[in-house]
Structure 1
Amino acid sequence: MIEKIEIGMINETVHNFRKGEFGVQSIEIDEIRGFIEVEYGAQEGGVKKVMIPLGNVEKCEFIEKLEEKPEKEVKQEK
């Protein structure tokens, strides 16, 4: 799951998105459809989505959160 992304566009603008800031709920890169999709929470009776075409992206840096495995309890015999 992507936590933070910085997108440099071919027109030299830079866009930053961070999960949890300004209502951002999820950030996904869909290489098959060719979009970076940013989904916001419900606003004005609907869900806001921003779709950035990969063809317009010059550079993309992101932080992907690693899923932590729960630690198993170790039982010690006495």
Structure 2
Amino acid sequence: NAIGSSLVSVAAFGATTAISYAISGLVDWQLALLFIVGGAFGGFAGIGLARRLAARRRALGLIFSGVVATVGIYVLLKGLASFH
């Protein structure tokens, strides 16, 4: 349940941010389309991978946790670098 809840939160935040940028005219629509298509393909690949890992729920949870931690560390380091 935690994975699903986290993904819903991320999607809601992303959609709100995207709408805000679109309204202000700051969206490169060609690049946005590229990301959307890539995300769709990645989503379908993720579904296939999740089905394979369903028997190994712990492995899937660890992979998800690793991705979230990696992104969090990256964002933290970028934020700290902006202070210098």
Q: TM-score scaled to structure 2, two decimals? A: 0.20
Between Structure 1 and Structure 2, whose CA radius of gyration is higher?
1
Structure with the greater relative contact order (CA < 8 A, sep ≥ 6): 1 or 2?
A: 1
Q: TM-score scaled to structure 1, two decimals? A: 0.21
Structure number with higher strand proportion: 1
Structure number with higher helix proportion: 2
